[in-house]
Amino acid sequence: MNVGVIVFPGSNCDHDCRHVFQTVLGQSVQMIWHKETSLKGVDAVVLPGGFSYGDYLRTGAIARFSPVMGAVKAFAKDGGAVIGICNGFQILLEAGLLPGAMLRNKSLHFICKDVHVKVENAATAFTEACESGQVLKIPVAHADGNYYTDPVTLAAMQANAQIVLRYCTPEGKVTPEANPNGSLDNIAGIINPEGNVLGMMPHPERCAEDVLGNKDGKLIFLSLLKAMKVKV
């Protein structure tokens, strides 16, 4: 599989994503600069974490206007698999590829720690290597991860099984105490109605190898390979 990792000014998890796909999973990776207007024939696209354009105005607000985003939108519209991680999720929201918006964390502080998320929908291209209800331990690192949308959109997302990951306790209970940022309905990750675009605040690329003491995040990437029928 040929994976394109989009690089914005201020991206800082782009090489982590490349490492997982290329070194850990043995796939081909292309680093695509934000000024490019072509995705160069990739099979999947990753918008990595970081602080694109220094998070000026608001997270993802400037990156959505990068030339490459036209190609990303067209790719997604044609059914191409797109993953946005942390800042990448924020960019997908600003670009209108996913519903809702990100607010400042309820605590108004930057959060960097391991959290637990429950797989609410294991029938997606990004979670099919997981079990429904499985709890994953994945780190977060953000100041603006407080997901919000209006009640009508939330109800539609719930009805369409678009809420893929929710913050939970280690035992899998979705509680207010398990919510690190105040995110609506404990939302940690969502997909679009078509199911080919995923946005998630936790960083699976930071926990995809034994050497890191945890490889729960690897399941997200393995799911995509499985959906693409790629043998690892």
Residue numbers annotated as active site: 86, 203, 205
Torsion sign across C-alpha atoms 107, 111, 113, 115? positive
Q: Cα-Cα-Cα-Cα dihedral of 166, 168, 174, 176, to 10°?
A: -100
Q: What are phi and psi of 20, to 5 degrees?
A: -65, -50
Provide the 10 A C-beta neighbour count for residue 90: 30
Q: What are phi and psi of 210, to 5 degrees?
A: -60, -35
Q: How many residues does the chain have?
A: 232
Please tell me the distance from the alpha carbon of residue 85 to that of residue 87, in angstroms, as a whole number: 6
Give per-residue burial for 29-64: e unless 16+ CB within 10 Å, then b.
bbbbebebeebeebbbbbbbbbbbbebeeebbbbbb
Please tell me the distance from the alpha carbon of residue 198 to that of residue 128, in angstroms, as a whole number: 13
